[in-house]
Amino acid sequence: MADKLISKIPDGPLSEKWTKRKSEIHLVSPNNKRKLEIIVVGTGLGGASAAASLGELGYNVKVFCISDSPRRAHSIAAQGGINAAKNYQNDNDSVYRLFYDTIKGGDYRAREANVYRLAEVSAAIIDQCVAQGIPFAREYGGYLANRSFGGVQVSRTFYARGQTGQQLLLGAYASLNKEIAAGTVKSYPRHEMLDLVVINGEAKGIIARNLVTGQLERFGAHAVVIATGGYGNTYFLSTNAMNSNGSAAMQCYRKGAYFANPCFAQIHPTCIPVHGDQQCKLTLMSESLRNDGRIWVPKKLEDVEKLRKHEIKASQIPEEDRDYYLERRYPAFGNLVPRDVASRAAKERCDAGFGVNETGKAVFLDFSDAIRRLGHQKVAERYGNLFEMYEKITASSPWEEPMMIYPAIHYTMGGIWVDYDLQTTIPGLYAIGEANFSDHGGNRLGASALMQGLADGYFVIPVTIGDYLSHKFAEPKTDINAPEFAVAEKAVQARIDRLFSIKGTETVDSLHKELGHIMWEYVGMARDEEGLKTAIAKIKELRERFYKDVKVPGTQFEFNQELEKALRLEDFFDIGELMAYDALNRRESCGGHFRIESQTEEGEAKRDDANFMYVAAWEYKGDGVEPELHKEDLKYEFIEVKTRNYKD
Amino acid sequence: MNFNVKIWRQRNAKAKGHFETYHIDDIESDASFLEMLDILNEKLIREGIDPVSFDHDCREGICGACSLYIDGRAHGPDDHVTTCQLFMRHFKDGATITVEPWRSSAFPVIKDLVVDRRAYDKILQAGGFISVRTGAAQDANNILIGHDTAEESMDAAACIGCGACVATCKNGSAMLFVAARVSSLALLPQGKVEAAKRARAMVAKMDELGFGNCTNTRACELECPKGISVAHIARLNREFLKAKFSE
């Protein structure tokens, strides 16, 4: 069924593709929009901006989120900023350069046309956000301020202190509230999607569980938009929020949507190191800190020993005995290399025995130079709240001693396969934001997740979904009494009943933690064939144990957080397995995916363009059956594919 | 560290609640308060006791989901933090810790420590936005905003909507929450156009939903995890009066 992978990329020059596609798309007249219903699942930047914009257009929108309010979605936690090709700094930035940086940063595994469109609409996002009243940082003259992020040599990142994600989400949430008040959008908080309903091959609705009453409810529509984020929590420990999960994506996958590049997971270099085995969540320290912070470990192992025994402090180690390893290995980009490169370099130093804390899994991020150069006030203005946050968690002040950081799972570039219109392989089903795979290739650049979520939600989906819906306005409202709804609901009910019937002894979290250990050990920062095969076998064993021995307390018809977690863990097993299959297939190192078998003599990642320049789209073939691989070849017509070089 | 945790248990909105006390051992001093509750819940599940429900998500102080009233203070005995940023090192070894949900008639209990805060969404739906459609905006740098004005607007915009101000206020007033939104937008040129109308609509909705009146005790400011100043309430009052006079 390889013919399902039709990317629908418009012909013609790169810079005219989006304009061309927009001009081809059929319109839906205002009186017909009123007859059409759209379900949006998720209220992060993608979901909230999509639901609000679709509501403004006059569609009837139903928007779902698992938390008590749309404002809690995990986009809220993004700290550093949002990229846009405004060239306000006159540093020779452009749409082309943002496009180029993103393609290169993604290690040439993203689609040219999608990424170019992303760069093209980026400037309008900033305009929109300012109009909504988002208090971005300003210069004294009243103009917008910018800073730099990893993997680029210009300043194109807009920010609101270390709370950019919060402010952008509150902006999208405000627009959503405006539409809820206007009656075009109906909001369903504390509702969790548990299945997709497909009728005659088209997405027509969802089954959701009301998390307060526990009832299963049916919702019908003419189209469904998935905006439920990524699957980083497969690893148990990650920077994702506790409730972030990949379940909606897995439900779509099981109903026939292909899942693309699952093995591309981003490991963020600057997180607070793990402190003990009681931890369940890791905290990110914004990448913006690498603008002024310098990363190092001691040159001498005896200094490392003393640090671990608390006999000396980092600040007592003289300059000549410090190894600023990013500046040493990558002189052109220094501390601002992309995330995958910085993470691997930290692992390399720690594996060589230079980790600076008791566990041997930490490196320093040092601000002493910046404080000397810029002064206390300037540094406080840029990073004050991040320093405070670090001190609250670790009880150590970055003003006196360098921060300690270590890589952790942060974002997933893989996701539901979509075409240029963001439509999945199931007609009428769309995926936006982190939930799809399309824009970041093998590695996402900093400050680009916010850009993509809002690009998809404000500017892409409101246009492209019209092409599908323009053929649907004559169709009646979806009947939730159709047999397909009954079948889907019954299957969800059976899943729930099965979980309660097990009555075992192991808690959901303890099993999830074990899955996390398997994933980090074998599908983490360095992967090889043997390890990946081990991971697949171990996940199978763990899943069997789950179905024999998990203990889900309480009942279905009440607020039951353990049941929520158990349902999500079932899906995390499947995602973990899928990630391992994909990683096993991709016998090259690329972006966040590092195969030990594929590296240069210097230990740098070695890509294999001859054999792997494709999107790996996986088709579900049944539980416990190996999924089928479909390939979408990537063609680079407008840029020269090169080896990523951040050295010179 | 060891603790006795005295927790409010309530099966659902209609059931009568009561306190239960649980003992817990071997907690690391660097564990967060919510990690302590995770560990307690693991223990309760293994012992066949229904685990304690509580709202939480990001665990880094920004989503506003966590909402525990600990030893008589919203978010517990540390200043300007959310519950997830509260660490066990702030408690004495062996202490008995009392944990309750937010107490407010506008935030009814759903289960145990989980409350229904949809009233906050409704207040914002009444006018907590700028009426701009996607695509209608001009170039961002056409709206000049002074550095200090943007910073002041950001101070108010930092509100995470957790509800600590309401839980702390003896009148159960949501004035600080409403003021933060009104003030953040009223400070900016693009938010000024609707400022008075916004203030009037949001205050009316707040009254309608059963929140109490503000009597200027300033308790909200002290317990706000983001340290939002009551000075914003003064700006809300100005906008509200403007709206009254223009009627």
pLDDT (tens digit, 9 = 90+) per residue, A415-449?
999 999 999 999 999 999 999 999 999 999 999 99
Interhelix angle A164-182/B147-157, nearest 10 degrees: 70
Residues of A within 8 A of B143 (CB-CB) are 130-131
**Distances A216 to A68, A192, A212, A291, A488 between C-alpha atoms, Å:** 18, 9, 11, 49, 11
What the block records as the tokens of A588 is 């090259």
Residue type, A169: L
Contact flag A69-B135 (C-beta cutoff 8 Å)? no
Residue A218 to residue A490: CA distance in whole angstroms: 11
Contact flag B124-A166 (C-beta cutoff 8 Å)? no
Interchain CB contact of A610 with B (< 8 Å): no
CA A194 to chain centre: 21
Task: Tell me the mean pLDDT in the region A197-225.
Answer: 98
pLDDT higher than 70, residue A407: yes
pLDDT higher than 50, residue A41: yes
Contact flag A276-B31 (C-beta cutoff 8 Å)? yes
What would you report as the CA-atom Rg of chain B, rounded to the nearest whole angstrom? 20
Contact flag B85-A392 (C-beta cutoff 8 Å)? yes
Instruction: Tell me the nearest-neighbour CA distance from A192 into chain B, angstroms.
Output: 15
Q: For residue A1, what pLDDT band results from cuts at 50, 70 and 90?
A: very low
The overall average pLDDT reported for chain A is 96
Instruction: Tell me the nearest-neighbour CA distance from B6 into chain A, angstroms.
Output: 20
Placement of tokens 């017909």 in the chain = A32
Mutate to test the interface with B, among A126, A132, A146 (most CBs of B within 10 A): A132
Placement of tokens 């190192």 in the chain = A589
ipTM value greater than 0.90: yes
Residues of B within 8 A of A163 (CB-CB) are 62, 154, 158
Chain A contacts in chain B segment 15-34 (CB below 8 A): 27-28, 30-31
- For A41, the 3-state DSSP assignment is strand
Which of A69, A143, A278 is facing B120, going by the closest CB pair? A69
CA atoms within 13 A on the CB side of A35: 14
Task: Tell me the mean pLDDT in the region A341-370.
Answer: 95
Task: Tell me the mean pLDDT in the region B132-147.
Answer: 96
CA atoms within 13 A on the CB side of B153: 25
Q: For residue A286, what pLDDT band results from cuts at 50, 70 and 90?
A: confident
The candidate with the shortest Cα–Cα distance to A234, out of A246, A250, A243, A249, is: A246
Residues of B within 8 A of A161 (CB-CB) are 154
What residue in B sits closest to A44 (Cα-Cα)? Answer: B63
Residues of A within 8 A of B141 (CB-CB) are 86, 88, 143-144
Residues of A within 8 A of B80 (CB-CB) are none
Phi and psi at residue A550, in whole multiples of 5°? -75, 150
The overall average pLDDT reported for chain B is 96
What residue in A sits closest to B63 (Cα-Cα)? Answer: A72
pLDDT higher than 50, residue B88: yes
What residue in A sits closest to B188 (Cα-Cα)? Answer: A133
CA B1 to chain centre: 29
Interchain CB contact of A562 with B (< 8 Å): yes
- Contact indicator for B81, B71 with CB cutoff of 8 Å: no
DSSP β-ladder status, A628-633 and A614-619: antiparallel
CA atoms within 13 A on the CB side of B237: 11
Q: What is the pLDDT of residue A354?
A: 97
Residue B169 to residue A431: CA distance in whole angstroms: 43
Instruction: Tell me the nearest-neighbour CA distance from B79 into chain A, angstroms.
Output: 11
Which of A129, A161, A174 is facing B154, going by the closest CB pair? A161
- Taken in order A74, A75, A81, A83, the sign of the CA dihedral is positive
Residues of B within 8 A of A187 (CB-CB) are 121
Which of A56, A173, A562 is facing B51, going by the closest CB pair? A562
pLDDT higher than 80, residue A602: yes
DSSP letters for A435-462: GB-SSSTT-PPTT-HHHHHHIIIIIIHH
- A550: which residues sit within 8 A by CB, 6+ positions away? A499, A502, A504, A506, A507, A508, A511, A566
Instruction: Tell me the nearest-neighbour CA distance from B210 into chain A, angstroms.
Output: 19
Instruction: Tell me the nearest-neighbour CA distance from A417 into chain B, angstroms.
Output: 26
Chain A contacts in chain B segment 142-181 (CB below 8 A): 143-147, 149-151, 153-154, 157-158, 160-161
Residue A345 to residue A325: CA distance in whole angstroms: 8
pTM over the 0.95 mark: yes
**Distances B37 to A38, A219, B22 between C-alpha atoms, Å:** 39, 35, 11
- pLDDT single digits (tens) A335-349: 999 899 999 999 999
pLDDT higher than 90, residue A475: yes
Q: If DSSP states are collapsed to H, E and C, what string results for A177-198?
A: HHHHHHCCEEEECCEEEEEEEE
CA B42 to chain centre: 27
Instruction: Tell me the nearest-neighbour CA distance from A232 into chain B, angstroms.
Output: 13
pLDDT higher than 80, residue A482: yes
Interchain CB contact of A77 with B (< 8 Å): yes
Q: What is the pLDDT of residue A415?
A: 98
- pLDDT single digits (tens) B161-219: 999 999 999 999 999 999 999 999 999 999 999 999 999 999 999 999 999 999 999 99
Q: What is the DSSP letter of A288?
A: G
Which of A124, A212, A507 is facing B42, going by the closest CB pair? A507
Q: What is the DSSP letter of A114?
A: H
Determine what percent of chain A is predicted with pLDDT higher than 70.
100
Instruction: Tell me the nearest-neighbour CA distance from B218 into chain A, angstroms.
Output: 24
Q: What is the pLDDT of residue A106?
A: 96
Instruction: Tell me the nearest-neighbour CA distance from A62 into chain B, angstroms.
Output: 16
The candidate with the shortest Cα–Cα distance to A442, out of A592, A312, A572, is: A592
Contact flag A142-B146 (C-beta cutoff 8 Å)? yes
Chain A contacts in chain B segment 87-146 (CB below 8 A): 87, 89, 110-111, 114, 116-118, 120-121, 124-141, 143-146
Chain A contacts in chain B segment 194-223 (CB below 8 A): none
What the block records as the tokens of A356 is 């600076």
- For B91, the 3-state DSSP assignment is coil
Residue type, A632: E
Interchain CB contact of A141 with B (< 8 Å): yes
Which of B42, B129, B147 is facing A140, going by the closest CB pair? B147
pLDDT higher than 90, residue B128: yes
Residues of B within 8 A of A558 (CB-CB) are 11-12, 111
Which of A74, A132, A393 is facing B130, going by the closest CB pair? A132
Task: Tell me the mean pLDDT in the region A60-78.
Answer: 98
- Contact indicator for A50, A432 with CB cutoff of 8 Å: yes
Contact flag A507-B116 (C-beta cutoff 8 Å)? no
**Other CB atoms closer than 10 Å to residue A529's CB: what's the count?**
13
- For A171, the 3-state DSSP assignment is helix
DSSP letters for A207-243: EEEETTT--EEEEE-SEEEE-----GGGGSSSSS-TT
Q: What is the pLDDT of residue A603?
A: 86
Residues of B within 8 A of A90 (CB-CB) are none
What residue in A sits closest to B155 (Cα-Cα)? Answer: A135
Interchain CB contact of A502 with B (< 8 Å): no
Give the H/E segment covering residue A204. Answer: strand A202-210
Interchain CB contact of A279 with B (< 8 Å): yes
Interchain CB contact of A399 with B (< 8 Å): no
Chain A contacts in chain B segment 46-85 (CB below 8 A): 46, 48, 50-51, 53, 55-65, 81, 85
Catalytic amino acids of A?
339
Counting one residue from chain A and one from chain B, the pairs whose CB atoms sit within 8 A come to 214
Mutate to test the interface with A, among B134, B162, B226 (most CBs of A within 10 A): B134
pLDDT higher than 80, residue A2: no
- For A150, the 3-state DSSP assignment is coil
DSSP letters for B95-114: -EEEEE----TTS-EEETTE
Mutate to test the interface with A, among B1, B60, B143, B228 (most CBs of A within 10 A): B60
Q: What is the pLDDT of residue B246?
A: 78
Residues of A within 8 A of B59 (CB-CB) are 241-242, 280-281, 283
